[in-house]
Every structure is written in structure tokens, then in C-alpha cells.
């Protein structure tokens, strides 16, 4: 163990001790009178004690300074002052340790990943709330339990055995009791020293369910986009090859081929436009938010009805709006008009008979409700649950035949969510569909504080 004091001072103290022995020997052999030897011995012992105390205080000052503790020692001073300083410093250090421990405990408990600390016998030393949930235990009830009893997963104990055998980090995907999907487990050996073993371990448990769902949704989305684009592109390519390979053909067939190419080209453009629209709505709502202003709801509904009138007339279906007079709401009128148009066009596409009703009211909760109801065939529960998914179609053949992109309802949902609202559908097979848009009032803007009235100037 290294000496806690400077070596030079240690040698000096040892020298004083040696001189003290010499003085004692000289007194015994009558080299000096006894009183002179006693006096010199007392001076040397006092000097040795003084230097030792001073070195000890300076060493304590150095340690306290490195630890960030007030290191102003009461020197010189009575032992009572040193005792008080020591107690105060210990109390300060204890308080800092408690604050750091509380901070660690707070961070440890709010982590979304599960954390387990294990001892050399695979008993749980500590577990946070996320780990307790993943292993289907109450928080705080896992301490002291063997890992095999707490997790009931042989794969976890196999992972810990592998970590101890290699003294290296190991990972595995393991199904945990309270997680529907796989969990990603990382095992980390905790070394007590440079040459110590790795008996204690830390396990990090991460729920991969949401990640796997996102990956699956992304793959499904890519497949749907590819399919939606491949169908019209295949038709365009086929008609183009036919036109190029036949120099002479019937003029009617030639015109019909060009019209088919034009129709499917417009369909591709419509799909791309809708995809860009969805991306813009998501980015705009998430980054800066949409602009909202007080508008007459009846005006927005009337403009949407005007835009849909030709499609409704061609289908022989009437549109009936029911809007309270004088209703004003904070909306982005252009986006809400677009959402209403998409819902009415969707109703025209699938409704068998009219009319299509647009009903507006203010709910008891204070939210604006816009309902678009049709008398179509309705939806099955499994179709209703996915009706707002991109490219999802309840009647795929009918929608594609009429040129639907499969993105109209997702755009409606994105517009409503940009208003911090919700979109849902109420339906049953054979009873039509009622799409409900609920939009909360716009949050009140903070009112600037009025300046304090100026004090009247004193009259001269």
C-alpha cells in the first residue's frame, strides 16, 4: 500500500524518532544531564507530533479537494473544530451520494428497456419496472429470486451461462412472458476488478414487438405501392408495344389504345400525388402545424358539395348537407374541404342508393363532429378495422375498376389528425357507413400581458 504522506516528511519523522532514541541513550550513559536530555526529548516529540498532524491535515485537504468537498480545514485549531469539520464534510458527502443515488434510481425506473442485475448464482440483485413487466412480475418483487424462477425461460439461463463462459457480451432474441413478439436480450459481464472474474451480470431486455410491426407494415406498404403501380404500368407497356409492332391497325382500336394509356397514366400520377400529399400532411402537422382560422362551417361544407355535384349527378345520388346556421370553428378550410370531398366521393363510389348525408353538430364534449353517411353495403368488422390503412380496399375489384387510388381515406385521417382530432367509421354489413370526424377547438393563444399604467408625473 503506498504511503499516504510525502516520503521526505516520513524520513524526517523517522529521523526525529531516531534522535529521540539517541538522547535517551545519552541520558542513560550520563553523556548529558538528565534534565537536558528530557527537555530535548520533549522538544523532539512535540516537533514530531506537530509535523505528523500537519501532514495528516494536508493529506485530508488534498483528498477532500479531489472529492469536491469544502477542504478549508480549521488549522491550526482545537480538535473539536477538526471533529466538527469532519462531521460536516461526511454529512455533505453523504448528501451528495444520496442525491446521486436518487437520480440513478429515477432514471433506472423510467427506462423503457428492462434492466436486470444478477449475482454469481443467477439471483436477481435489482430489476427496474420495465423488466418486471416483461417478466410478468410486480415491480420490486423480483429481488432475490433466481432468474430461472423469475423468467421461466431456459434460453435466458443458457445466455447467462454463455456469458460467464466467455466473459464477453452476448445477445439473443428470446420470447418473454408478457411480450407478444420477440425480445432482444443483451448480456453484459460486470467485472469487479481488472483481473476479477465476471460472476455478476447485467441483462438488458428490449421489446421488439413494435419494431417488428413497423417492419411488417413497411414491407406491406412497399408491396402495395409496387402492386398499385405495376398494374397500370403493365397495361401501358402492353398497349405501347402493340401500337409499335403494328404499323397499320384499325383507327378505332388505335384511339382506344391511346385512351387506355392515358387513363392508366393519369392513375399513376394520381397515386403519386396522393402519396406526396400524405407525406406533406404528416411533415407539416408534425413540424410546424397547420394554420387554422375561424371559418363558417356551412361555407366549407357547401363548397365541398359543389365540387362533388357532378360525380353525384352522374351516379344519380343526391347530397344532403345539414349544418347549423352561424356555426363558426377554427379550421383549415382548404384541408377540411378536401377531407369532405374524399368522403363524399368514397360514398358515391360504393353507395347503391342515395342520399348521402353530411351532418354537422357540436358534441357535449365541446368537439365539432362532421358525419358523412351513405346507404351502401356497409363493411365487415375486419374491413372496418383497416379502412384507414393505405391502399386498403374492402371491395378491391370495384375500387380499381372505378379508378380509386386507395389513399383517399388515409388522407382524410391525416387531415383530421393534423387538427388534433380523430376519424372513425360506424358501419355494419347492409347498413351503410357513417364516417365521423371529431375536431377539438383550437387551443387558446396566450394573451399578452397588459402594460402597467404609468404613474402620473408629479405636478411642479
Q: Supply the DSSP string of 306-364, one letter for each residue.
A: HHHHHHHHHHT--EEEE--TT-EEEE-HHHHHHHHHHHHHHHHHH-SS-PEEEEEEE-T
Residues 395 and 420 in one domain: yes
C-alpha cell at 118: 444478477
Predicted confidence at residue 30, as pLDDT, reads 63
- Look at residue 459 and tell me if it is in a domain: no
Residues 328 and 426 in one domain: yes
Predicted confidence at residue 67, as pLDDT, reads 59
C-alpha cell at 168: 464477453
Predicted confidence at residue 154, as pLDDT, reads 84
- Look at residue 38 and tell me if it is in a domain: yes
Q: Give 356's strand partners.
A: 319
What Rg, from alpha-carbon coordinates, does the chain have? Answer: 41
Residues 281 and 245 in one domain: yes
Which of 287, 305, 332 represents a domain boundary (last residue)?
Answer: 287
C-alpha cell at 158: 443458457
Residues 198 and 150 in one domain: yes
Residues 88 and 176 in one domain: no
Predicted confidence at residue 5, as pLDDT, reads 46
Which of 151, 175, 207 represents a domain boundary (last residue)?
Answer: 207
The total of structural domains in the chain comes to 4
Residues 283 and 297 in one domain: no
**Cα separation of 126 and 377, whole Å?**
57
- Look at residue 233 and tell me if it is in a domain: yes
- Look at residue 106 and tell me if it is in a domain: no
Residues 435 and 297 in one domain: yes
- Look at residue 455 and tell me if it is in a domain: no
Predicted confidence at residue 456, as pLDDT, reads 46
Residues 167 and 47 in one domain: no
Pair 442, 330: CB distance under 8 Å: yes
- Look at residue 128 and tell me if it is in a domain: yes
- Look at residue 449 and tell me if it is in a domain: no
Q: CB within 8 A of 377, min separation 6: which ones?
A: 350, 352, 429, 430, 432
pLDDT tens string 53-104: 677 667 666 766 665 655 555 554 555 666 676 777 778 878 888 888 888 8
C-alpha cell at 119: 449475482
Which of 174, 207, 240 represents a domain boundary (last residue)?
Answer: 207
Residues 38 and 73 in one domain: yes
Residues 278 and 345 in one domain: no
**Number of C-alpha atoms within 13 angstroms, CB side, residue 94?**
6
Listed residue (407, 437, 412) closest to 424, CA to CA: 437
CATH number, domain with residue 126: 3.30.450.20
Share in percent of the chain as helix, strand, coil (round to 5): 55, 15, 30
- Look at residue 103 and tell me if it is in a domain: no
Q: Which residues of the chain have pLDDT under 50?
A: 1-5, 76, 400-401, 446-460
Q: Would you say the pTM of this structure is higher than 0.85?
A: no
Structural domain span for residue 382: 293-439
Residues 249 and 298 in one domain: no
Q: What stretch of H or E contains 307?
A: helix 297-315
Going from the C-alpha of 370 to that of each of 300, 317, 363, 444, 460, the distances in angstroms are 11, 20, 10, 22, 67
CATH number, domain with residue 426: 3.30.565.10
Residues 12 and 148 in one domain: no
pLDDT tens string 214-255: 777 777 777 777 877 888 888 888 888 888 887 777 888 888
Amino acid at each position: 500500500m503506498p504511503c499516504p504522506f510525502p516520503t521526505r516528511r516520513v524520513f524526517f519523522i523517522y529521523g526525529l524518532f531516531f534522535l529521540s532514541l539517541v538522547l535517551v541513550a545519552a541520558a542513560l550513559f550520563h553523556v548529558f544531564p538528565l534534565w537536558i536530555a528530557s527537555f530535548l526529548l520533549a522538544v523532539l516529540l512535540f516537533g514530531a507530533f506537530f509535523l505528523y498532524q500537519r501532514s495528516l491535515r494536508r493529506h485530508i485537504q488534498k483528498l477532500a479537494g479531489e472529492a469536491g468537498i469544502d477542504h478549508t480545514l480549521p488549522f491550526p485549531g482545537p480538535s473539536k473544530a477538526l471533529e466538527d469539520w469532519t462531521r460536516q464534510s461526511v454529512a455533505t458527502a453523504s448528501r451528495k451520494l444520496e442525491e446521486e443515488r436518487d437520480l440513478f434510481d429515477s432514471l433506472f425506473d423510467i427506462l423503457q428497456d428492462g434492466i436486470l442485475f444478477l449475482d454469481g448464482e443467477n439471483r436477481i440483485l435489482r430489476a427496474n419496472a420495465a423488466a418486471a413487466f416483461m417478466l410478468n412480475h410486480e415491480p420490486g418483487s423480483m429481488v432475490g429470486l433466481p432468474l430461472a424462477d423469475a423468467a421461466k425461460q431456459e434460453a435466458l439461463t443458457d445466455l447467462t451461462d454463455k456469458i460467464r463462459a466467455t466473459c464477453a457480451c452476448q445477445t439473443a432474441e428470446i420470447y418473454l412472458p408478457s411480450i407478444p413478439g420477440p425480445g432482444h436480450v443483451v448480456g453484459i459481464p460486470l467485472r469487479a476488478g481488472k483481473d476479477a472474474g465476471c460472476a455478476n451480470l447485467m441483462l438488458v431486455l428490449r421489446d421488439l414487438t413494435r419494431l417488428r410491426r413497423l417492419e411488417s407494415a413497411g414491407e406491406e406498404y412497399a408491396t402495395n405501392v409496387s402492386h398499385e403501380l405495376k398494374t397500370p404500368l403493365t397495361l401501358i407497356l402492353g398497349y405501347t408495344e402493340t401500337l409499335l409492332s403494328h404499323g397499320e391497325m384499325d383507327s378505332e382500336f388505335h384511339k382506344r389504345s391511346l385512351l387506355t394509356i392515358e387513363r392508366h397514366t393519369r392513375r399513376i400520377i394520381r397515386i403519386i400525388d396522393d402519396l406526396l400529399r400524405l407525406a406533406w400532411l404528416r411533415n407539416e402537422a408534425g413540424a410546424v402545424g397547420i394554420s387554422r382560422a375561424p371559418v363558417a362551417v356551412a361555407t366549407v361544407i357547401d363548397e365541398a358539395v359543389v365540387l362533388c355535384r357532378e360525380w353525384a349527378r352522374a351516379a344519380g345520388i343526391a347530397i344532403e348537407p345539414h349544418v347549423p346556421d352561424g356555426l363558426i370553428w377554427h379550421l383549415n378550410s382548404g384541408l377540411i374541404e378536401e377531407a369532405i370531398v374524399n368522403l363524399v366521393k368514397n360514398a358515391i363510389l360504393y353507395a347503391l342508393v342515395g342520399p348521402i348525408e353530411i351532418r354537422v353538430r357540436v358534441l357535449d364534449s365541446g368537439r365539432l363532429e362532421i358525419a358523412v353517411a351513405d346507404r351502401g353495403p356497409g363493411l365487415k368488422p375486419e374491413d372496418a378495422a383497416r379502412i384507414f390503412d393505405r391502399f386498403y380496399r374492402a371491395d378491391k375489384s370495384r375500387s380499381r375498376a372505378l379508378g380509386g387510388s386507395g389513399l383517399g381515406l388515409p388522407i382524410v385521417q391525416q387531415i383530421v389528425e393534423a387538427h388534433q382530432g380523430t376519424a372513425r367509421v360506424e358501419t355494419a354489413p347492409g347498413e351503410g357507413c357513417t364516417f365521423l370526424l371529431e375536431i377539438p377547438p383550437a387551443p387558446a393563444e396566450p394573451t399578452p400581458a397588459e402594460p402597467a399604467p404609468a404613474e402620473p408625473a408629479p405636478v411642479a
